């Protein structure tokens, strides 16, 4: 007789063990996913609900830790799925069962739907940053102008970028005014046109908060819209995305375009992860209500935006919680202040190796798209992370 522990930080150990005992790949994957451990934080519970929760969850083999109005409910996805059946739960737990079902992490989406078709997500997807602004925080002015931008796009793609994200308005800390739409258009449209012509098989996304810029970019061949305010500042952006069948990235942030990189709105009442998930869920629902296909939506926790370095690091560690939104996750830790703070590196341009480490950790926690300045370093780190995780 022998007893060997199985690693539970990923489903690979359970899946491979089942296959080794003769299971087929498909049922082994399903069983491994169902055996994934999940813990949920429940609040706003009255005493009858807490009492019913302890009794009912215990019968289902779930762990429950309770306090005054709160509980932590933990178990495998399978057992939590059994709890998430309002038609079998006690009446006082029917609403909670529904909410638990919505919060259980979803299976990873196989692709991201864009105006150019689906982009597979079974391997890490690198999104190369192409800022065509004179004032970006780490590379301002270096790629300003079509010729310089084309050369940089060539480099990003040669290093492994599958998406080139082109932006004409900086979100750097300390900005005091928004860029006029006409000026932003003059910066980005010639570059989009050139990159699409040079690399017809590569997806181009437009990094903008203005619906007019997004509409023009899509007409020039862009396939996706990356909005750092998740359509907060211009709700008509959703109409543009829906009409153009564009992929969208909804990034969490707070405040105006000149405030989002500051700490002006960084009070999350002690729960940055919960607040980000709740606000992104509202953004996703609003986009879908305006006609954006759910399959076209990617969510971004907005590391470094309206968050202190400590909050960004915590959110990066808890990325797996965003899977409850049911959408693929993109992260953009590239050269951010929290990366520099953790690594002890002051200059943003010197943070690329630290960025690559952050991306590898984010992959393990469920992120599938990675927006970075230095594609080569991140590609290598993600290749190792993906190879180990299987």
Residue partners of 360: CB distance under 8 A and separation at least 6: 381, 382, 384, 385
Q: Please, which residues bridge with residue 359 across strands? A: none
Cα 202 vs. chain centroid, distance in angstroms?
21
Q: What is the pLDDT of residue 13?
A: 85
* Rounded mean pLDDT, 162-184: 85
Q: How confident is the model at residue 29 (pLDDT cuts 50, 70, 90)?
A: confident
Length of the chain: 390
pLDDT at residue 8 tops 80:
no
Q: What is the pLDDT of residue 178?
A: 81
Q: How confident is the model at residue 7 (pLDDT cuts 50, 70, 90)?
A: confident
Contact 306, 264 (CB under 8 A): yes
Residue partners of 197: CB distance under 8 A and separation at least 6: none
Q: What is the pLDDT of residue 142?
A: 55
Name the E strands within 208-302.
Answer: 224-227, 247-251, 297-300
Element (H, E) at 76: strand 70-76
Element (H, E) at 203: strand 203-207
Q: What is the pLDDT of residue 12?
A: 84
Q: Mean pLDDT in the chain?
A: 92
pLDDT at residue 243 tops 70:
yes
The predicted-structure confidence for 89-112, as pLDDT tens digits, reads as follows: 999 999 999 999 999 887 778 999
Q: Please, which residues bridge with residue 64 across strands? A: 73
* Rounded mean pLDDT, 72-80: 94
Structure tokens at 387: 């190879």
Cα 71 vs. chain centroid, distance in angstroms?
27
Q: How confident is the model at residue 2 (pLDDT cuts 50, 70, 90)?
A: confident
Contact 235, 223 (CB under 8 A): no
- Give CATH for domain 111-389: 3.20.20.20
Q: How confident is the model at residue 135 (pLDDT cuts 50, 70, 90)?
A: low
Stronger pLDDT, 172 or 312, i.e. the higher one? 312
The Cα–Cα gap between 75 and 287 comes to 32
What amino acid positions are annotated as catalytic residues? 336, 371
The Cα–Cα gap between 77 and 32 comes to 10
pLDDT at residue 320 tops 70:
yes
* Rounded mean pLDDT, 324-333: 95
Q: How far is CA 380 from CA 115, 150, 355, 363, 384, in A?
A: 29, 24, 12, 13, 6
The Cα–Cα gap between 13 and 205 comes to 37
pLDDT at residue 278 tops 80:
yes
The predicted-structure confidence for 253-273, as pLDDT tens digits, reads as follows: 999 998 998 999 999 999 999
pLDDT at residue 370 tops 90:
yes
Nearest Cα to Cα of residue 221 among 328, 375, 114: 114
**Residue with tokens 């909410």, as numbered in its chain:** 99
The Cα–Cα gap between 100 and 103 comes to 5
pTM: 0.92
Contact 131, 335 (CB under 8 A): no
Helix and strand totals (H; E) in the chain = 14, 13
**Three-state DSSP state, 199:** coil
* Rounded mean pLDDT, 304-318: 95
pLDDT above 90 coverage of the chain, percent: 81
How many CA atoms lie less than 13 Å away from 293 in the CB half-sphere?
15
Q: Where are the domains of the chain?
A: 36-103, 111-389
How many CA atoms lie less than 13 Å away from 210 in the CB half-sphere?
16
Residue partners of 261: CB distance under 8 A and separation at least 6: 137, 171, 172, 173, 175, 304, 305, 306
pLDDT above 70 coverage of the chain, percent: 96
* Rounded mean pLDDT, 51-60: 95
The Cα–Cα gap between 43 and 66 comes to 10
The predicted-structure confidence for 177-231, as pLDDT tens digits, reads as follows: 789 999 999 999 999 999 999 999 999 999 999 999 999 999 999 999 999 999 9
């Amino acid at each position: 007789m022998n007893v060997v522990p199985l690693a539970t930080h990923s489903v690979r150990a359970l899946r491979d063990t089942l296959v080794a005992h003769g299971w087929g790949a498909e049922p082994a994957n399903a069983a491994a996913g169902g055996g994934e451990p999940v813990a949920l934080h429940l609040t706003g519970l009255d005493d009858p609900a807490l009492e019913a929760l302890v009794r009912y969850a215990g019968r289902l083999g779930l762990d429950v830790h309770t306090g005054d109005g709160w509980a932590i409910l933990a178990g495998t996805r399978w057992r939590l799925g059994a709890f998430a059946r309002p038609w079998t739960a006690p009446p006082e737990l029917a609403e909670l069962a529904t909410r638990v079902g919505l919060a259980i992490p979803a299976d990873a989406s196989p692709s991201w739907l864009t105006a150019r078709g689906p982009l597979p997500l079974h391997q890490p997807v690198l999104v190369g940053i192409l800022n065509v602004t004179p004032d970006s925080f780490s590379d301002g002015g270096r790629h300003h102008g079509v010729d310089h931008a084309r050369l940089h796009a060539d480099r990003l793609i040669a290093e492994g970028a599958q998406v080139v994200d082109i932006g004409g308005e900086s979100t750097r800390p300390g900005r005091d005014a928004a860029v006029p739409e006409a000026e932003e258009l003059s910066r980005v449209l010639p570059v989009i046109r050139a990159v699409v012509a040079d690399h017809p098989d590569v997806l181009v996304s437009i990094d903008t908060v203005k619906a007019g810029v997004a509409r023009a970019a899509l007409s020039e061949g862009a396939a996706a819209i990356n909005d750092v305010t998740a359509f907060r500042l211009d709700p008509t952006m959703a109409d543009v995305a829906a009409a153009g069948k564009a992929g969208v990235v909804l990034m969490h942030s707070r405040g105006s375009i000149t405030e989002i990189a500051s700490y002006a709105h960084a009070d999350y009442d002690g729960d940055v992860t919960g607040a980000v998930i709740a606000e992104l869920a509202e953004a996703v629902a609003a986009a879908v209500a305006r006609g954006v296909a759910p399959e076209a939506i990617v969510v971004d926790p907005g590391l470094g935006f309206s968050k202190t370095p400590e909050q960004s690091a915590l959110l990066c560690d808890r990325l797996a919680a965003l899977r409850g939104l049911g959408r693929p996750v993109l992260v953009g830790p590239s050269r951010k202040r929290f990366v520099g703070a953790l690594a002890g590196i002051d200059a943003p341009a010197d943070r690329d190796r630290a960025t690559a480490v952050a991306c590898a950790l984010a992959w393990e926690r469920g992120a599938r798209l990675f927006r970075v300045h230095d594609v080569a370093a991140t590609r290598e780190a993600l290749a190792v992370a993906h190879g180990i995780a299987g």
